[in-house]
Structure 1
Amino acid sequence: MNHPPAEASPAPHTVTLDDVKTAQKTLSGVARVTALEGSRHLSSLVGAPVHFKCENLQRTGSFKLRGAYTRIAGLSADERARGVVAASAGNHAQGVALAASLLGVRSTVFMPVGAPLPKVAATVDYGAEVKLTGQVVDETLRAAQEYAEETGAVFIHPFDHPDVVAGQGTVGLEILEQCPEVATVVVGIGGGGVAAGIAVAVKALRPDVKVIGVQAEGAAAYPPSLAAGRPVSLDAVATMADGIQVGRPGDVPFKIIGDLVDEVRTVSEDALSSAVLLCLERAKMVVEPAGASPVAALLSEPEAFEGPVVAVLSGGNVDPLLLQRILRHGMAAAGRYLSLRLRLQDRPGALATMLEVLSVADANVLDVSHVRTDPRLGLTEAEVELQLETKGPEHCAAVLTALGEAGYRVIG
């Protein structure tokens, strides 16, 4: 569970528009002004223009550089001399590593032992010393905190600091500049740093614009926390969207989100995987599940959003092996995989005849398991388990109809 401990920082207070504008000046020439791209498919679903704010194309592959650089740039000379330390399984690690390198500050980043090798390698390439510690992020965070206490290095929290929130808020300023007619901004929420920062910028300049946060159902700490009026820790979190897999809201962003964010929605794992698939297929964008959470919300209930809509694609750092699994999950959620078992007569050519039926039905066979010896089978029966690639729910129904008309009995 990604549940960062509270940083020794100023008491929670409201980050101002001036703070965000100052951060924008600090980030000039460092963070990219990322593109705003239209989505014709989502626009047709919503019934109004939908745009992607492509922070997946930011340096280090996510918005995290904005907050990390703003925070480290604000350190005193003495603090910089002591170096900085962070803990992360991915995006924050890379953001801190690059920010520290650009500012000439020594950085140490603790990452879990099981962190994906591409993310570890990228963090090292950006200039950090990486220490692989702990099996889960909680253990890694504790190790980073202990290191900070022992060495005097400044702990750089991923979201729970005013400077970090201000840096992330520069995304909101860019959205208003690039899409002045925007009516709704949709952004993923983990600890809440980027959503809080965007809300500060957007609501100060355009209070009529709705800001909607999105959490994964398996890591939705904000709804119960907002209901309680204080940050509440979840007992457990579980989601493919590791970038927003946070078990407790940060104190600083929680106050801002409670005051300024219009609504926090939750999305299912099926919706997240479908959103990643849509970004890849329709927008030609590699987006991690956390970054695709706003798209998942739009897919889940498109009529609920007033347009024009800007969906923040907050990151694109996803391990290739995980991406492969997510895409399979997304295709299954979209009805493009069909798993079934059926019985046929155990005689020469029977399997080939059945496969011909599937060929005519235009179903692509991914895997076949052929069982002849099972006490459940009759003397002349065989059982076949199939994994098929289809074109969607209607095609799945058509394939099942074709098998039935050909005399095959589907049993599961």
Structure 2
Amino acid sequence: MPQTLVTREDVEAARVALEGVVRRTPVEPSRVLARSAGGPVSLKCENLQRTGSFKIRGAYRRIQRLTDDERARGVVAASAGNHAQGVALAAGLLGTHATVFMPAGAPLPKLAATRGYGADVELVDTFDATLTAAQEFAARTGAVLIHPFDHPDIVAGQGTVALEILEQVPDVATVVVCTGGGGLVAGIAAALAGTGVSVVGAQAEALAAWPPSLEAGAPVTVTGATIADGIAVPRPGELTFAQVSAQVDEVVTVSEEALSRAVLQCLERGKLLVEPAGAAAVAALAEYPGRWRAPVVAVLSGGNVDPLMLDEIVRRGMAAAGRYAHLRVRLPDRPGYLADLLARVGRLGGNVVDVEHRRLEVSADLGPLALGSVEVALTLEARGNDHRAAMVDALREAGYAVAEGTVEPGTPGTQGE
């Protein structure tokens, strides 16, 4: 059955309803991204929105449009965190009760925030099980299901981001935005339809349902795991697919390393705390330099990240940017040789983070370990890939046998919405 697309008028009506509820989030220029984009780049900071993401926009519009009888029955949602917080806050503002089903592995700050906004939280084993549980709860209790992305009111509410962008950056040529289920990118596309502004979606390539879906002409289910839990959605919605396929110019994918570098860049250069999903647009601009017309606006969709996960992401980003070097070096197993190696590394500008002697488990690429020798594993801080490579070259020129390894970043998450 053909889907009725959300229109610019729907988005404008949603904006009226959201006045006094959502924040008009700022846009901040990014000189770093402008250099790679070939023109001005601004960051639309929805990470500074109420509840820490854009989700309050669609959740409030959806619940606000319910009848008094529907609101009296309560609402229910399934979410890994951001939609949960948006629904919880919107329900409280509109005088209804929210129940939210979340995966047991959801970040603790998102669980605490959702409960703090007044919702009842029910934990289930996996994200995939949350929607089924929410649907069963709705059928059993009469509560209204607030879908995270696949509803016209949700899409219209999310699209209000684009109306603000048009006012804040009147000459914008391209808007780049993360996409999981597609509610945000669909809403932005609806708001910008007919304006001549290009809309580009950015998705984590480790769990990317949009490219095969667009190629197939219908939503396709994929599997995978990504650190970008906010967009880890295995299948687009029916409405969002129709809207995106009709109005979005392009959907690109970005690597896990690019997502990590983008989070690190937002922290270091923009002084902005952004979750991996929220940094997908920044990652796309870095991975596809000069691809889109400027001025460009990259939407930072959210900033809700577990501090423990943030530490892992930053380490991953530093490794991907060449700021960490993991080396294995062969030395005579005699006093003074390790001190000489570490002193040389210091003179080369490297900062030693970790040192480990290895006599049994050694790297195969350096060959068998000779009698009277030891292999030393070094983790170093470097100033970037060029500096890391220069240190390795200098050590080899000094006569050291050196092999490069990788700094293991940990296991990515699997939730999404």
| The two structures share one fold, judged by TM-score above 0.5 | yes
**1:101-142 deviation per Cα after TM superposition (whole angstroms, max 9, x unaligned):** 1111101111111211111100011111111122x1011221
2: CA distance, partners of 1:374 / 1:284: 41
Cα gap change, 1:402 to 1:11, in 2 (>3 Å): same
Does structure 2 retain, via aligned residues, the 8 Å contact 1:237–1:246? no
Bigger mean CA offset, 377-386 vs 185-194: 377-386
1: CA distance, partners of 2:361 / 2:27: 58
The Cα RMSD (Å) is: 1.4
1: CA distance, partners of 2:137 / 2:321: 46
Q: CA offset at residue 15 of structure 1?
A: 0.8
- Show structure 1 runs of 5+ residues with no match: 1-9
The residue identity in structure 2 corresponding to 1:281 is E
1: CA distance, partners of 2:224 / 2:134: 21
Q: Which residue of 2 aligns with 1:165?
A: 155
1: CA distance, partners of 2:403 / 2:34: 40
Q: Which residue of 1 aligns with 2:402?
A: 410
SS class of match (1:271): helix
**Match runs of 1:1-16 below 5 Å:** 12-16=3-7
Does structure 2 retain, via aligned residues, the 8 Å contact 1:357–1:406? no
Q: Which residue of 2 aligns with 1:224?
A: 212
**1:135-160 deviation per Cα after TM superposition (whole angstroms, max 9, x unaligned):** x1011221111111111110100000
TM-score by length of 1: 0.94
Q: Which residue of 2 aligns with 1:397?
A: 389
Cα gap change, 1:411 to 1:268, in 2 (>3 Å): closer
SS class of match (2:310): helix
The residue identity in structure 2 corresponding to 1:63 is F
Does structure 2 retain, via aligned residues, the 8 Å contact 1:357–1:402? no
2: CA distance, partners of 1:108 / 1:253: 24
Does structure 2 retain, via aligned residues, the 8 Å contact 1:216–1:269? yes
Does structure 2 retain, via aligned residues, the 8 Å contact 1:14–1:256? yes
2: CA distance, partners of 1:347 / 1:411: 21
Q: Which residue of 2 aligns with 1:299?
A: 286
Q: Which residue of 2 aligns with 1:383?
A: 375
Does structure 2 retain, via aligned residues, the 8 Å contact 1:343–1:411? no
1: CA distance, partners of 2:13 / 2:7: 10
SS class of match (1:171): helix
The residue identity in structure 1 corresponding to 2:259 is L
Q: Which residue of 2 aligns with 1:326?
A: 313
Q: CA offset at residue 400 of structure 1?
A: 1.1
Does structure 1 retain, via aligned residues, the 8 Å contact 2:6–2:152? yes
Bigger mean CA offset, 375-384 vs 111-120: 375-384
Q: Which residue of 2 aligns with 1:186?
A: 176
Q: CA offset at residue 377 of structure 1?
A: 3.0
The residue identity in structure 1 corresponding to 2:275 is E
Q: CA offset at residue 374 of structure 1?
A: 6.6
2:203 is equivalent to residue 215 of structure 1: yes
Cα gap change, 1:151 to 1:45, in 2 (>3 Å): same
2:317 is equivalent to residue 312 of structure 1: no
2:253 is equivalent to residue 284 of structure 1: no
Q: Which residue of 2 aligns with 1:7?
A: none
Match of 1:40 among 23, 26, 31: 31
Q: CA offset at residue 227 of structure 1?
A: 1.6
**Match runs of 1:195-210 below 5 Å:** 195-204=185-194, 206=195, 208-210=196-198
1: CA distance, partners of 2:396 / 2:6: 63
Does structure 1 retain, via aligned residues, the 8 Å contact 2:8–2:193? no
**1:284-326 deviation per Cα after TM superposition (whole angstroms, max 9, x unaligned):** 1111111111111100111101100000000111111111111
Does structure 2 retain, via aligned residues, the 8 Å contact 1:346–1:372? no
1: CA distance, partners of 2:242 / 2:358: 60
Identity over aligned residues, as a percent?
62
Q: How many residues were matched structurally?
A: 399
